[in-house]
Structure 1
Amino acid sequence: MSVTLPFAEWSSYAEDHAARVDVLLADHLERRRRREAHPVEDFLFTYYPTRPNQLRVWHPGPGIRLEDAASYGDRRGYVVVDGTAALDPAEIARRADSITWIRRLLVSTLDRQPQFGCFGLHEWAMAYRTPDVRHAAWPLRLGAEGTDQVVESHKISCSHFDAFRFFTTPARPLNTLQPDRESQPALEQGGCLHANMDLYKWATKLMPFTPSSLLLECFELARDIRTLDMRASPYDLAPLGYSPVRIETPEGKAEYTAAQRAFADRARPLRAKLIALCDELLR
């Protein structure tokens, strides 16, 4: 059953959404104008390729039709009939295989027991025994030798392929798992920071079917997780206002694990909402 929104109603939602995005992205856009890189927040627009102007477009989600919405006729995934816009069933059908794969990954992750013992060591493994660190403009808190010692003195147990694939060559054999794309649905689990950040990726992959309110919830979660991810990394980002989570100490491990658990609790209902969206689309 569908709901039809008059122009006055849906245009107000669209304006409110664009204003919210403008607030969320103001600092990023100002830095971009200055050509100023940022080791924490740029990740949300480099690793995740959705552009700011794409985020500003409001999408109502399945089952909602928009009156007087001829402008949506130029947007992929919509069909406009007599001025009323709705999601295009043909586009949903064309992407059914992709939606099915995303659903499978989300369901398997939701059902799996979360793990909280990784301590963010994936970022350390990306800097292990190499002069070519990913954020070369920022110093390593413990220096290269100290960073290597942290990696060598810990059990590395990264389950996330898109983190593991950036490990340095010497670090790869130290991981207890050897994740790849094929094994992703079998390994991904809800305690992983990157798996929970990636809810934003799956929300964007499902655009324009994803309701924009859900999309921004996933974006805000990803932004907050990314902050912890880099605070717990080997880099010294104190000049940017990021106090380190010293995961090489017992106190730092406890701080990291507590934050990791809180993010898992935030991620779980968002993952469930994305699964429900996939189910609705596949019906």
Structure 2
Amino acid sequence: MDVLTRAEWEPLAAAHRARAEAATSPHLARRARGEKHPVEDFLFEYYGFRPGHLARWHPGPGVALTDSPEHAAWSSYVTSAGLTSLDVPSYAEKRGATVRFVRDLLARTHGREARFGCFGLHEWAMVYRIPRDEVRHGSLPLRLGHAGTDAVVEAHDIRCSHFDAYRFFTPAAVGRNEIRPTRETVRDHEQPGCLHGGAMDLYRWAFKLAPGIPGDLVLDCFEIAREARLLDMMSSPYDTESLGLPNIAIETPQGKAEHVHRQRAISEAAAPVRERLIAACDALIAPT
């Protein structure tokens, strides 16, 4: 057990809080004004991890803190002989099954070859042949219109491996997907090139396992997820120019090449973060 005095851990917590606040302040400001941002708000609204919780610094397992009434008051912590730390045995008893599931999912994902031929078409399949008054992101128009969007879907093979994207496909698009992922088979299909399963969901799993995951790792996962979300929407059928995000025209060879280039960069950045998340899971379920 590593021991950090308050003089040692307090600057770490302050730096974490400042980093988290810089990442979340635009969202909080918009929320205070009653404004919505269909791209940036996604990580908070879809995943549901509150900005205030993101700002909390957690040392992770194997680290004890002196003089920390803050951590002592939080769930899953225990104080003994003046030292406060994550109560790993209690945490593992309550959440061990979830940790093992996440660890297995991440390890299987990490061990597969990354594929980059989807071109973000999952977002297009979510609005394929949709009624004109039912657009998922109503504040953003379809860049090519309804007919043009449908034509792009019909001109491509769709290979979406991520269930939580596939389940939002329109009924007309479901049968066009080459894969049939289900919630039960999610561990059989996730692959590291996927913007969702390979990148955005790192943040999903990191905060789901809080406070067992070190705070800096949660923020690293958040930043990877944000980059993936930006590419996700820039390559989507929506016109994101009004948001200051240039569209990537994946219906063209140039657009496909740009999408794959950026997707590869995100996948490469996500790989070491996923490895750290797997190691963090191991520390939570290792025998004591």
**Band of TM-score, shorter chain:** over 0.9
Q: Using the TM superposition, give the Cα deviation of residue 81 of structure 1 relative to its aligned residue in structure 2, in angstroms.
A: 2.3
1:56-90 alpha-carbon deviations (Å, 9 max, x no partner): 11000111001011222221111122442111121
SS in 2 for 1:192: coil
Q: Which consecutive unaligned segments of at least 5 residues does structure 1 have?
A: none
Work out the CA distance in 2 between the residues paired with 1:23 and 1:73. 26
SS in 2 for 1:263: helix
Number of the residue aligned with 2:120: 120
Work out the CA distance in 1 between the residues paired with 2:158 and 2:70. 50
SS in 2 for 1:32: helix
- The answer to whether the aligner puts 1:70 opposite 2:72 as a matched pair is no
* Residues 70, 83 of structure 1: 8 Å contact kept: no
Query: Which range is displaced more, 49-58 or 79-88?
Result: 79-88
Number of the residue aligned with 1:207: 210
1:199-219 alpha-carbon deviations (Å, 9 max, x no partner): 001111111011111111100
Number of the residue aligned with 2:237: 234
1:83-140 alpha-carbon deviations (Å, 9 max, x no partner): 4211112122221111000011001000011111000000000011112121011110
* Residues 161, 180 of structure 1: 8 Å contact kept: yes
- The answer to whether the aligner puts 1:85 opposite 2:84 as a matched pair is yes
- The answer to whether the aligner puts 1:19 opposite 2:21 as a matched pair is no
Work out the CA distance in 1 between the residues paired with 2:40 and 2:82. 39
* Residues 126, 133 of structure 1: 8 Å contact kept: no
Q: Which consecutive unaligned segments of at least 5 residues does structure 2 have?
A: none
SS in 1 for 2:84: strand
Work out the CA distance in 1 between the residues paired with 2:40 and 2:48. 13
Work out the CA distance in 1 between the residues paired with 2:100 and 2:13. 29
Number of the residue aligned with 1:138: 140
Number of the residue aligned with 1:197: 200
* Residues 116, 260 of structure 1: 8 Å contact kept: yes
Work out the CA distance in 2 between the residues paired with 1:133 and 1:92. 43
Work out the CA distance in 2 between the residues paired with 1:20 and 1:270. 17
1:9-40 alpha-carbon deviations (Å, 9 max, x no partner): 11111111111111111211111111100010
* Residues 70, 80 of structure 1: 8 Å contact kept: no
- The answer to whether the aligner puts 1:159 opposite 2:169 as a matched pair is no
Work out the CA distance in 2 between the residues paired with 1:71 and 1:203. 21
Work out the CA distance in 2 between the residues paired with 1:272 and 1:18. 24
Structure 2 residue identity aligned to 1:216: L
Structure 2 residue identity aligned to 1:197: M
2:248 aligned to 245, 260, 266, which one? 245
SS in 1 for 2:175: helix
Work out the CA distance in 2 between the residues paired with 1:153 and 1:266. 31
Number of the residue aligned with 1:218: 221
1:164-197 alpha-carbon deviations (Å, 9 max, x no partner): 0111111111100110111111100000000111
Number of the residue aligned with 1:273: 276
* Residues 5, 66 of structure 1: 8 Å contact kept: yes
Number of the residue aligned with 1:172: 174
SS in 1 for 2:71: helix
Work out the CA distance in 2 between the residues paired with 1:75 and 1:82. 18
So what's the TM-score if we normalise by structure 2? 0.96
Q: Using the TM superposition, give the Cα deviation of residue 48 of structure 1 relative to its aligned residue in structure 2, in angstroms.
A: 1.0
Number of the residue aligned with 2:47: 48
So what's the TM-score if we normalise by structure 1? 0.98
Structure 1 residue identity aligned to 2:70: S
Work out the CA distance in 1 between the residues paired with 2:247 and 2:36. 20
SS in 2 for 1:171: helix
Number of the residue aligned with 1:263: 266
SS in 2 for 1:174: coil
Work out the CA distance in 2 between the residues paired with 1:24 and 1:207. 18
2:149 aligned to 133, 143, 147, which one? 147
Residue identity over aligned pairs, in percent, reads 51
